[in-house]
Amino acid sequence: MIDRLNDIYELYDRIIRSTALACGPGCAGCCTCNVILTGLEARMITDRLPSPRREILHAAITHGFPAKRYIPKMSTNGFARLCMEDVDLPEEENDPAWGNCPLLENDLCTIYDVRPFGCRAMVSETHCRETGSAQMPPWVLTVNNVFLQAIEHLDQNGHSGNLSDMLLLTLSENAVTGQEHQNHDPKNKGLFVKNESIKYLMIPPEHRARMAPIVRNLSHLINTGPETDHSNHR
């Protein structure tokens, strides 16, 4: 599964490369404490980092743990389902002023090579510090939504949550510290949302033709049947 997730990241990188972006090293205005990721992405981060870097990761999160952070009430595929079923969406709170991501150091990401999709998808055609917010072409927004949906589908039996919560949970499952984080049990606290399979793809009519080959590629990556799971091999 982790290999397929990596293939999805690589496919996204190839697609987005053709868009002229202002993003670059040291530009970190979008690195807030509000990033969301799936449990599988958290597992990829902890599995691919060597043990000393996992310990640094744990220290950074516990030291910089954000008191206020975006905690999702609905997954992306759940959101798409509710929209199509014309059901009221839950109200959510999300404010970049709540602070930086605890994994940001001197305006650089300390896990850049394994960062989750939520970070990869945060792109802008103009410098956010000059324009006040990210300027994302509508086409890129559609690509981002569909990739978020595919990544959740790949982990449809798992959960999603805030990066700080999900990484603490995953690190405790990996027993990197020997400590338990009982308050990060995905089943009995409101920190995590259940992932869902794709029922409806969020593609507006004007992007359907352009998205067709991308959807075919993604579909192949998320639906190629059972594979050997290398995620526990270090």
**Contact set with ligand SF4 (CB under 6 A):** 22-23, 27, 29-31, 35, 101, 103-104, 109, 111, 115, 119, 122-124, 127-128, 134
In the complex, what is the shortest distance from the CB of residue 106 to ligand SF4, in angstroms, rounded to a whole number? 11
Q: Which is nearer to ligand SF4, 104 or 150 (CB)?
A: 104
Q: Which is nearer to ligand SF4, 16 or 22 (CB)?
A: 22
- Residues facing residue 162 across a β-bridge: 36
In the complex, what is the shortest distance from the CB of residue 100 to ligand SF4, in angstroms, rounded to a whole number? 8
Name the strand (E) or helix (H) holding 173: helix 163-173
In the complex, what is the shortest distance from the CB of residue 130 to ligand SF4, in angstroms, rounded to a whole number? 9
Q: Which is nearer to ligand SF4, 110 or 231 (CB)?
A: 110
Residue 139 CB coordination number (10 Å): 15
- Please give the Cα distance from 151 to 107 (Å, whole number): 27
Q: With beta carbons less than 8 A apart as the criterion, state whether 49 and 111 touch.
A: yes
In the complex, what is the shortest distance from the CB of residue 41 to ligand SF4, in angstroms, rounded to a whole number? 10
In the complex, what is the shortest distance from the CB of residue 35 to ligand SF4, in angstroms, rounded to a whole number? 5
Q: Which is nearer to ligand SF4, 29 or 137 (CB)?
A: 29
Q: Which is nearer to ligand SF4, 135 or 177 (CB)?
A: 135
CA dihedral 79, 82, 83, 87 (to 10 degrees): -140
In the complex, what is the shortest distance from the CB of residue 110 to ligand SF4, in angstroms, rounded to a whole number? 7
What DSSP assignment string belongs to 123-160? Answer: --SS-HHHHSS----HHHHHHHHHHHHHHHHHTTTSEE
Name the strand (E) or helix (H) holding 120: helix 117-120
Q: Which is nearer to ligand SF4, 2 or 35 (CB)?
A: 35
| 218's tokens | 């993604």
Phi, psi of 192 (to 5 degrees): -125, 150
